[in-house]
Amino acid sequence: MSLAKPAMRGLLGKRLRFHLPIAFALSLVAAAAFKYGVTEPRKQAYADFYKQYDATKEFNNMRDAGVFESVRPTGE
């Protein structure tokens, strides 16, 4: 009936040596995934939107739809 003596010391160090690299790696992966999955597409979407954006045309469309209080639709 002789069991091996269990590990008495270095438990926290062992745990950290195992878990910290994994934690760092996963965090980096999460950051990279968010950057290339969310922020880059969003920046591209905004760039594309404003490349073809005609502010005056949009303003006139909105004005004719009647959403402004400062200007009435053309022809009123």
62 Cβ partners below 8 Å, 6+ apart?
68
Give the residues lining the site for another protein (CB under 8 A).
Answer: 1, 42, 45-46, 49, 58, 61-62, 65-67
Taking the complex as a whole, the smallest distance from the CB of residue 28 to another protein amounts, in Å, to 26
Taking the complex as a whole, the smallest distance from the CB of residue 22 to another protein amounts, in Å, to 27
Q: Which is nearer to another protein, 22 or 50 (CB)?
A: 50
Using DSSP's 3-state secondary structure scheme, residue 72 falls into coil
Structure-token pair, residue 48: 């594309």
Q: Which is nearer to another protein, 11 or 28 (CB)?
A: 11
The DSSP line for 44-63 is HHHHHHHHT--HHHHHHHHH
Q: Which is nearer to another protein, 23 or 40 (CB)?
A: 40
